[in-house]
Structure 1
Amino acid sequence: MSTVSKVLEKKSDEILSVSPDTTVFDAIEQMAARSAGTALVMDGGTLAGILSERDFIRKVYLQNLCGKGITVSEIMSSDLTTVSPGETIEDCMNKMTQKRIRHLPVVENEKVVGIISIGDLVKYLVEEKDFEIKNLQSYISGPGL
Structure 2
Amino acid sequence: MTVQKILTFKDAGVTTGDPSMTIAEVCNRLAEHRIGALVMTDERRNVVGIISERDVVRVIANGGGGALADPASRHMTRTVTTCNLRDTVGDVMEKMTRGRFRHVPIVNNGELVGIISIGDVVKYRMAEIEREAAEMRSYIATA
Could you tell me the TM-score, scaled by structure 1's length?
A: 0.90
How far residue 134 of structure 1 moved from its aligned partner, in angstroms, is 1.5
Q: Contact between 2:13 and 2:113, CA under 8 Å: does it hold in 1? A: no
State the match for 1:63 in structure 2.
Answer: 62
Deviations 1:12-62 (A, max 9, x none): 12211011111111111111122100010012122110010111111x211
Q: Which one-letter code corresponds to 1:31 in the other structure? A: L
Deviations 1:51-83 (A, max 9, x none): 10111111x211134234111111110111111
The 5 Å alignment of 1:66-85 reads 66-68=65-67, 69-85=69-85
In 1: Cα distance, 2:50 partner to 2:33 partner: 16
Q: How many residues align?
A: 141
In 1: Cα distance, 2:30 partner to 2:5 partner: 25
The 5 Å alignment of 1:1-145 reads 2-45=1-44, 46-58=46-58, 60-68=59-67, 69-142=69-142
* Aligned-partner SS, 2:62: coil
Could you tell me the TM-score, scaled by structure 2's length?
A: 0.91
Q: Which one-letter code corresponds to 2:86 in the other structure? A: G
In 2: Cα distance, 1:82 partner to 1:13 partner: 15
In 1: Cα distance, 2:5 partner to 2:111 partner: 18
In 2: Cα distance, 1:141 partner to 1:32 partner: 48
Q: Contact between 2:105 and 2:115, CA under 8 Å: does it hold in 1? A: yes
What are the ranges of 5 or more consecutive residues in structure 1 without an aligned counterpart? none
